[in-house]
Homo-oligomer: A and B are copies of this chain.
Amino acid sequence: MINWNNMDTLEAFKELKETKKVNLREVMSGENGAKRASEYSVAMGGGLKYNYAAKAVDEDIIEVLKKFANEAQLVEKFEALYNGEVVNTGEKRLVLHQLTRGQLGQDVIADGVNKRDFYVGEQKKIADFANKVHSGEITNAKGEKFTTVVQIGIGGSDLGPRAIYIALENWAKKNNTFKMEAKFISNVDPDDASAVLKSIDVEKSLFILVSKSGTTLETLTNESFVKDALKNAGVDPAKHMVAVTSETSPLAKSDDYLAAFFMDDYIGGRYSSSSAVGGAVLSLAFGPEVFASFLKGAAEEDILAKNTDLLENPALLDALIGVYERNVLGYSDTAVLPYSQALSRFPAHLQQLDMESNGKSVNRFGGEINYQTGPVIFGEPGTNGQHSFYQLLHQGTTIVPLQFIAFRNSQIGQDVDIQGSTSQQKLCANVAAQIVAFACGKDDEDSNKSFAGGRPSSIIIGDDLNPESIGALLAHFENKVMFQGFAWNVNSFDQEGVQLGKVLAKNVLAHNTDGALKVYSDLLNI
């Protein structure tokens, strides 16, 4: 029997608030710091490790977090989710994105089909299609191979797939699995589609229209934009376009598309990178085997999320440390800082994943909650960020918990040795240095040069950024956000907060406005 109770009803939460705080600067100094850095580490999927030595926790706090996890039934709630209970209460839907990468529990039958079979079937359809495009069996009207794939989608149909594409582009080129360049059109700003279309040869481009409902304003508008461009180039749009949508959408059976690949209502946009939404573009760009490796890395991480032992469940541990920081220590932001240029857009994906999932003010039943929920997420790659906003992180009046990510090896492998070290070593030296600088600080006679320290961080470390490790990274954060949603007792799978703006925008376009809305419409010449 699962109890969905608000967090402040938990005995363990009350105990957590009363547990002695950790002086991070103290515990991370000297031999004790070395001991923590060695021991406070949990294995993740994809060959990664989650190290939390520089978080303001200790064994006493971890003990209480274990009680919290048990009392809040966090792993049982995950079990209910992957076994097909209606966990998305607001929209009365199952939540099945993990099923795209593996069968975690019992068979899930919905809409009369086994959903694992359904997702695997779509993966096979996509793989078959991608192989035919790569082999030249599917070509443009002139019989020429497609050289470019363009994803038309917004939000989850854009951010995750784009971040993963950028993460793997150089890896794929290096490993001879790069098949086609991918581009992305998302914004309703006409300059977005115009600029992308100017940068490609439309005659050799394949477009993927991604919209679950088939009704997303931006995406349908950009589809028309692209179809105009294709027609102007003398090309039949139906021969250059595939759809990723739900089987019930108007796009599903349309003759306007070369093929249609399906997702369903049980996978939210921000959780859809491992569904056909990511599958089509990534399989076309890098080949289906690369996408399969990505799923494998994600599956490894999902299996770890089933562990009831907090110290063998990295997503759960990361989640609960985050809850401690948000609700006991009172920190309201989290910075995601990958020391990898290839992860330049990964923070933007996590920003959506986290803020859209847990930026809620009512509980999963619409009832009141009396505590803070999801934090603000932002970030840029290191070392770039060091020369930008790190000043505030080190010496500002707001403490921001930090999530570092780093890899021992570069992707391309070209490097220079300057002053006795390679660029890759310099990159890694910087992230090591930052962890300690943030945690331990440094006193100085000149208070302007003093660092208070006590600024918590964790780091995820791997050998290489490759399909498996990016899969594991993606799933780790999906599962972390899910566990935090369970802890806060919110529904992490709906997004009612985006609706009001859509309704008002329609009113503006219909000139159905008054008051301030009319004035702003006039100011903007609508």
Which residue in B388, B391, B396 is a CB contact (below 8 Å) of A159? B388
> Do A516 and B378 have beta carbons less than 8 Å apart?
no
The digit string for A138-177, where 1 denotes a CB below 8 A from any CB of B, is 0000000000000000111011000000000110010000
Q: Which residues of B contact A435 (CB under 8 A)?
A: 516, 520
Which residue in B173, B378, B392, B430 is a CB contact (below 8 Å) of A501? B430
A195, A360, A384: which has the most chain B beta carbons within 10 Å? Answer: A384
Q: How far is the CA of A355 from the CA of B371 in the complex (A)?
A: 27
- A170 in contact with B155 given A348-B388, A418-B220 (CB within 8 Å): no
> Do B448 and A90 have beta carbons less than 8 Å apart?
yes
- A398 in contact with B375 given A191-B170, A524-B408 (CB within 8 Å): yes
> Do B505 and A429 have beta carbons less than 8 Å apart?
yes
Q: Which residues of B contact A452 (CB under 8 A)?
A: 361
Q: How far is the CA of A92 from the CA of B328 in the complex (A)?
A: 41
> Do B218 and A383 have beta carbons less than 8 Å apart?
yes
Q: What are 23 A-B interface contacts by the 8 Å CB criterion?
A: A28-B516, A36-B516, A90-B448, A154-B383, A187-B341, A190-B423, A191-B341, A192-B341, A193-B414, A332-B333, A332-B398, A361-B397, A361-B452, A366-B448, A367-B447, A373-B397, A374-B392, A429-B521, A432-B505, A432-B526, A433-B504, A436-B520, A461-B524
Extra inter-chain contacts (4) besides given A351-B388, A394-B500, CB under 8 Å: A29-B515, A359-B395, A374-B396, A440-B516
- A187 in contact with B381 given A359-B389, A448-B496 (CB within 8 Å): yes
Closest chain-B Cβ to A353's Cβ sits at a distance in Å of: 9
Q: How far is the CA of A501 from the CA of B424 in the complex (A)?
A: 17
CB nearest to A424 among chain B residues? B190
CB nearest to A222 among chain B residues? B423
Q: How far is the CA of A221 from the CA of B526 in the complex (A)?
A: 50
Q: How far is the CA of A520 from the CA of B340 in the complex (A)?
A: 17
Query: How many copies of this protein are present in the complex?
Result: 2
Which residue in B170, B221, B526 is a CB contact (below 8 Å) of A194? B170
Count residues on chain A whose CB falls below 8 Å from chain B CBs: 159
Kindly state whether residue A372 has any CB partner on chain B within 8 Å: yes
Closest chain-B Cβ to A289's Cβ sits at a distance in Å of: 22
The digit string for A495-509, where 1 denotes a CB below 8 A from any CB of B, is 111111111110111
> Do A341 and B501 have beta carbons less than 8 Å apart?
no
Q: How far is the CA of A188 from the CA of B341 in the complex (A)?
A: 9
Kindly state whether residue A21 has any CB partner on chain B within 8 Å: no
Closest chain-B Cβ to A397's Cβ sits at a distance in Å of: 5
Kindly state whether residue A324 has any CB partner on chain B within 8 Å: no
Kindly state whether residue A400 has any CB partner on chain B within 8 Å: yes
Kindly state whether residue A434 has any CB partner on chain B within 8 Å: yes
Kindly state whether residue A421 has any CB partner on chain B within 8 Å: yes
The digit string for A382-419, where 1 denotes a CB below 8 A from any CB of B, is 11101111111111111010000010101110111011
Kindly state whether residue A37 has any CB partner on chain B within 8 Å: yes
- A418 in contact with B221 given A392-B376, A432-B524, A436-B517 (CB within 8 Å): yes
> Do B526 and A394 have beta carbons less than 8 Å apart?
no
> Do B383 and A188 have beta carbons less than 8 Å apart?
yes
Which residue in B37, B155, B220, B396 is a CB contact (below 8 Å) of A387? B155
Kindly state whether residue A241 has any CB partner on chain B within 8 Å: no
A158, A351, A355, A369: which has the most chain B beta carbons within 10 Å? Answer: A355
- A521 in contact with B432 given A170-B191, A373-B396, A386-B501 (CB within 8 Å): yes
A29, A33, A410, A432: which has the most chain B beta carbons within 10 Å? Answer: A432
Q: How far is the CA of A398 from the CA of B376 in the complex (A)?
A: 8
Kindly state whether residue A437 has any CB partner on chain B within 8 Å: yes
CB nearest to A36 among chain B residues? B516
Kindly state whether residue A439 has any CB partner on chain B within 8 Å: yes
Kindly state whether residue A34 has any CB partner on chain B within 8 Å: yes
> Do A376 and B373 have beta carbons less than 8 Å apart?
no
Q: Which residues of B contact A420 (CB under 8 A)?
A: 509
Q: Which residues of B contact A419 (CB under 8 A)?
A: 509
Q: Which residues of B contact A246 (CB under 8 A)?
A: none
> Do B416 and A516 have beta carbons less than 8 Å apart?
no
> Do B425 and A33 have beta carbons less than 8 Å apart?
no
Q: Which residues of B contact A395 (CB under 8 A)?
A: 359-362, 496-497
Q: How far is the CA of A494 from the CA of B391 in the complex (A)?
A: 10
Q: How far is the CA of A436 from the CA of B514 in the complex (A)?
A: 11
- A383 in contact with B496 given A194-B414, A418-B224 (CB within 8 Å): no
A386, A395, A461: which has the most chain B beta carbons within 10 Å? Answer: A395
CB nearest to A421 among chain B residues? B509
> Do A190 and B359 have beta carbons less than 8 Å apart?
no
Kindly state whether residue A356 has any CB partner on chain B within 8 Å: yes
Kindly state whether residue A111 has any CB partner on chain B within 8 Å: no
> Do B396 and A360 have beta carbons less than 8 Å apart?
yes
Q: How far is the CA of A421 from the CA of B36 in the complex (A)?
A: 60
Kindly state whether residue A264 has any CB partner on chain B within 8 Å: no
